[in-house]
Amino acid sequence: MKKELLMGTALVSTLGAASVAEAVSATMSGNHQTGIEFDSPTSGTDTNAQINDNNFTVSLSETTDGGMTISSSFKVMDENTKEDYDAGFTLAFTDGSKLDVINAGNASGSHAVSIPSSAGAEGVAITSTNSASTGLDFMTGSTALGIEYHTASDFFADGLKMSFSASTDDGSAATATYRVDSHFALGATYVTDLGDSAVTLGAGYSTTEGNKTGATSLSNDPGGFHVGLSAVTGDLTVAVGFADGDTTSGDTNANEVAGEVMKAGVKYVSGDLTFNVGIASGEAKDGVIGTAGTTTDSKDVTSASVSYAVAAGVTAILGYTDVDSSDEGANDTTDGSAWYIGANMAF
pLDDT at 77: 67
For residue 212, CA distances in Å to 131, 142, 179, 180, 217 come to 18, 16, 6, 9, 9
Q: Is 76 helix (H, G, I), strand (E, B) or coil?
A: strand
Indicate whether 81 pLDDT > 50: yes
Strand ranges (DSSP E) for the chain?
25-41, 47-63, 69-76, 83-84, 89-92, 98-101, 146-150, 160-167, 179-194, 197-211, 223-233, 236-248, 256-270, 273-287, 296-311, 314-327, 330-331, 336-346
Q: Classify burial at 215, counting beta carbons within 10 Å of its beta carbon; exposed 0-12, middle 13-18, buried 19 or more.
A: middle
Q: How much is the mean pLDDT over the chain?
A: 87
Who wins on pLDDT, 73 or 215?
Answer: 73
DSSP state of 132: -
pLDDT band for 286, please (50, 70, 90 cuts): confident
The CATH architecture assigned to 29-346 reads Beta Barrel (2.40)
pTM of the model: 0.84
Q: What are the pLDDT digits (tens) for 100-121?
A: 999 999 999 999 999 999 999 9
pLDDT band for 82, please (50, 70, 90 cuts): low
Cα angle at 96 between 95 and 99, to 5 degrees? 105
pLDDT at 10: 39
Q: What are the pLDDT digits (tens) for 118-128?
A: 999 998 888 88
pLDDT at 126: 85
Query: Per mean pLDDT, which of 27-41, 77-91, 163-177 is the most reliable?
Result: 27-41
Residues ≥6 apart with Cβ < 8 Å to 253: 288
Residues ≥6 apart with Cβ < 8 Å to 194: 231
Indicate whether 44 pLDDT > 50: yes
pLDDT at 18: 41
Residue percentage of the chain with pLDDT more than 70: 89
Q: What are the pLDDT digits (tens) for 157-215?
A: 999 999 999 999 888 877 777 788 899 999 999 999 999 999 999 999 999 988 877 76
